[in-house]
Structure 1
Amino acid sequence: MPTAMITGASGGLGAALADALAPTHTLFLAGRPSERLDAVAERLGATTWPLDLADPDAIPAVVEPIVELDVLIHNAGVAYPGRVAETTVDQWRSTMAVNVIGAVALTLELLPALRAAGGHVVFINSGAGINASPGLASYSASKFALRGFADSLRADESSLRVTSVHPGRIATAMQEDLVAYEGREYDPGQYLSVQTVAQVTVDTVTAPPDAHIHEVIVRPR
């Protein structure tokens, strides 16, 4: 079976992506070591890859055994709710380190394996990567940067398929934190489910080989 690496696979959208891809792909579930990540891997018969995107210097040794990779899904990310004046430089540094620099570092290390497979790189971006969201200053900026990296990768690596997925608000723990920051009551029924976003993402991966889906925008109905 083709191989797929998913970052941030211990829960939420990452685990849903793993569920959706498990029937058709051999899974490499990447993330910080945890019981949750181990549980997802055990349930799906997948392999865990201990990976901290905030530590790019450690990435080469972790992924060195991978010589061919069909799909890389960048799902891991952090968000610190806050308008510009409420943010700190440390929050910006942490957001960029994980959401952008970590994704860049992992992609660069896996480029030979992706080229060998004629692979597909998928970036789970956000609506905030198209229009800045109030109260998500550093997160929005990181997603704009991630979109730029995806566009550059697509332009420079013609043998690869590169897709940016821009979902609206998803019913996740991160969303619950944002709603609390906004002072509203959290109702998961108002947002996209992780299963829906996972299925939309997998549809880009399983598109016919002559199709190259550059960007997907999906919003709650």
Structure 2
Amino acid sequence: MTESARRPVAVVTGATSGMGWQIALDLARDHEVIAVGRSASALAELDARPNIRAFAADLTDAAARDALVASLDRVDVVVHAAALGGAISLPDSSTDSWLAYLQICVIAPAELTRLCLPLLRSVQGTVIFIGSGAGTRPAPGSAVYTASKHALRGLADVLRIDEAASGVRVSTVAPGPTDTPMLQSSRGEAGLPWEPERYIRPESIARAVRFVVDASPDVQITDVAVRPRREIA
């Protein structure tokens, strides 16, 4: 048996940028990582890294989700890092914006998890949803994003109860403002200053995910809030 065949398998969505990129690199130290994303250039760079297999997919597409899971014969960890940023208030929202956020932030991770459950159950694996501080408290001017993160948190909490008998562990890792292209774009659109020195580094989120993945087998780490050292009002 080769070393790669002995490695646990981790599926990381949103792996082509920001937190997902760092999570994929960190887990590849001792997992075979399936790095899922849409950027061809980033996927090519990931695919050249040791222990990472890139998989191009738009996970809002059911056929793409089916193809991804069909390519797997084992799943130990699923990390849902794909997300959609930006602040949209209720007066500025539309049916299309609601559907876009719910598709990416809630439906895609829910459906991918559902498809992976048989494999996860067989190894008592771990599902990690990358949430947000907006998943537990209101984010002014950002009704659509906040609602999607509240929904994701609710999904994780119910799944944890429903999968208790199977041994599948379910966690929400909720970062505060993190130095990612998504946050930079969101702040630019809102006309806010970009202050990367005040934000969490993506590598720190990867370490939080590692903490959850490496938890001893008698426990599950259900909720991890990762906040900047100095809070940002």
The TM-score normalised by the length of structure 1 is 0.95
Task: Give the counterpart of 1:172 among 161, 165, 180.
Answer: 180
Corresponding residue for 1:89?
A: 95
Deviation at 1:200, TM superposition (A): 1.1
Deviation at 1:50, TM superposition (A): 2.4
Corresponding residue for 1:131?
A: 137
Is contact 1:14–1:76 with CA below 8 Å preserved after alignment? Answer: yes
1:36-56 Cα deviation digits (max 9, x unpaired): 122122123411222212112
Q: Which ranges in structure 2 are unaligned for 5 or more consecutive residues?
A: 1-6
- State, as a whole percentage, how many aligned pairs show the same letter: 37
Matched, 1:79 2:92: no
Q: Secondary structure at the match of 1:131?
A: coil
1:51-97 Cα deviation digits (max 9, x unpaired): 21211243113311323211000000112322211122211111101
Deviation at 1:136, TM superposition (A): 2.0
Deviation at 1:33, TM superposition (A): 5.2
Corresponding residue for 2:153?
A: 147
Corresponding residue for 1:195?
A: 203
The TM-score normalised by the length of structure 2 is 0.91
Matched, 1:64 2:70: yes
Question: Aligned partners of 2:64 and 2:12: how far apart in 1?
Answer: 17
Deviation at 1:179, TM superposition (A): 1.7
1:91-146 Cα deviation digits (max 9, x unpaired): 11111011111111101111111011110000000001111212322111111111
Q: Secondary structure at the match of 2:128?
A: strand
Question: Aligned partners of 1:161 and 1:54: how far apart in 2?
Answer: 24
Match of 1:171, as an amino acid? D
Q: Which ranges in structure 1 are unaligned for 5 or more consecutive residues?
A: none
Is contact 1:170–1:193 with CA below 8 Å preserved after alignment? Answer: yes
